[in-house]
Amino acid sequence: MSKKIVCAIERCMGCHTCELACAIAHSAGKELFAIVAAGEKPGYRIHVEHHGPQAIPLSCQHCEEAACALACPTGAVRRLAPGKPVLMDETKCIGCSMCVQACPFGVMAMRPTGKVAFKCDLCIERLAQGLRPACVSSCPTRALALEDEPQSNKEKRRAAVERLAAAHAAGVNESAEIPRRAESR
């Protein structure tokens, strides 16, 4: 079953805590002061972008047909099994950046050395310990969540049905705005 990080956009306040937590989780020292003292720059795998006043966190979508994996000439970017995350094997990466260019979400990057690409791995080490991804557990407004894709879709359908039922109860016929096929011909 595919898992991905989803965002309740209306809850995100753009604090970038998720970016910092991600960088710490993927560092050698695993603590902020250790990173600073060592001069390490681990990079973060989630990116908070702004569209007007709205902040929107973006991370790897672990696409079923992952363009990054298809573009990788060495197999460094791949999915280990169906329903599992798309992962990066840094030992196989030749630094060509084809995966970075292919990503339709712009969430892959090259390390500062330019020799290896990196991306979100859903914090697989944390998941193995029964923990949530660092970005999810650090979010102060609980805007981020790790969800099973089918469950997420079920919740979206439920919310859509609730909106339609509320509109119907209020006397608004949302389907009246959609032209019928016979009438539109």
Please check whether residue 22 lies inside any domain of the structure: yes
- Predicted model pTM: 0.78
pLDDT in the model for residue 50: 95
The residue count for the chain:
185
Report residue 184: phi and psi, to 5°: -85, -5
Q: Are 116 and 110 in contact (CB under 8 A)?
A: yes
pLDDT in the model for residue 151: 67
pLDDT in the model for residue 177: 52
pLDDT band for position 112 (50/70/90)? confident
Mean pLDDT score, 84-102: 95
Please check whether residue 35 lies inside any domain of the structure: yes
Please check whether residue 43 lies inside any domain of the structure: yes
Q: For the chain, how many structural domains are there in total?
A: 1
The token duo for 142 is 């609980």
Give me the domain span that covers residue 40. 3-149
Alpha carbon distance 168, 82 (integer Å): 41
Please check whether residue 20 lies inside any domain of the structure: yes
Alpha carbon distance 40, 110 (integer Å): 15
Min mean pLDDT across 20-29, 103-112, 173-182 is at: 173-182
> How much of the chain, in percent, has pLDDT values that exceed 90?
65
Alpha carbon distance 18, 48 (integer Å): 8
Task: Please report, for the domain that includes residue 133, its CATH number.
Answer: 3.30.70.20
- Give pLDDT tens digits for 42-85: 889 999 999 999 999 999 999 989 999 999 999 999 998 888 89
